[in-house]
Copies of this chain bind each other. A is one copy, B any other.
Amino acid sequence: MGCIIEEDDGDEVVMEPPPNFSMVEEGIYRSSCPRPCNFSFLETLNLRSIIYLCPEPYPEENLEYIRSHNIRLFQFGIEGKTEPSLATLKDAIRGALKILIDVRNHPVLIHCKRGKHRTGSLVGCLRKLQNWCLSSVFEEYQHFAGIKSRDADMKFIETFDVVCLRQCLHSIIYQYQGYGSKKRRLLYREDNVQKPRITSI
């Protein structure tokens, strides 16, 4: 008499994350545009939202997927090939950042087409908001963009004004608790907002 030990692993679905997939922060992911072969992996993320950075309509199969999984789509169309005007780009990135750091939208996946330039620019600006030093921000950008790294993107990240955005965040009551403190978590506090101090001169 022998015995077989059966493992109780449940079904053995092979997970295929989209190319260039990575976790950015708790509740924030980045990748290239997911394809149907990535959907079973996406399910494991329990996404609440997707930030889509291309101007093209969202692919039909992906639309079906997000509808059936109750995932909210936020689209900020940034041109991928022609260089967008600085004002347009700033507006899109600022809008996307507001969605991104609002924990009510988490878990959230950021993606464009390849997860290199537009996604990299948005993540770069998030890192600035987190007070990462610029060389680390660039390292991360280059990590994902590889040989396709673009000076224009890095210049954009470098000059992107986070001070202005912070004020803006104050005004929309989402408090980003991370820069310069031990806390890195993104918090949403509706009630207990510290007003900016106003000093008469």
| Chain A residues at the B interface, C-beta cutoff of 8 Å | 1-17, 19, 21-26, 41, 43-46, 130-133, 135-136, 139-140, 143-144, 163, 166-167, 170, 178-184, 194, 196-201
Contact = CB atoms under 8 A, between A and B. Distances in A.
A167 B190 CA distance: 47
B3 A180 contact: no
Contacts of A179: 9-10, 12-13, 15
B194 A44 contact: no
A17 B180 contact: no
A4 B197 CA distance: 8
Nearest to A195: B8
Query: Dominant SS at the A interface?
Result: loop
Contacts of A140: 21
B23 A180 contact: no
B133 A201 contact: no
A3 B198 contact: yes
A43 B182 contact: yes
A191 to B, nearest CB: 17
9 contacts: A5-B167, A7-B170, A7-B196, A12-B180, A15-B131, A17-B132, A43-B182, A44-B183, A45-B184
A137 to B, nearest CB: 9
B180 A4 contact: no
B194 A2 contact: no
Given A23-B23, A133-B14, A201-B1, A44 B8 contact: no
Given A3-B200, A6-B198, A44-B181, 14 more contacts: A5-B167, A5-B196, A7-B167, A7-B196, A9-B180, A11-B181, A14-B132, A15-B179, A16-B135, A21-B140, A41-B132, A44-B182, A143-B143, A143-B144
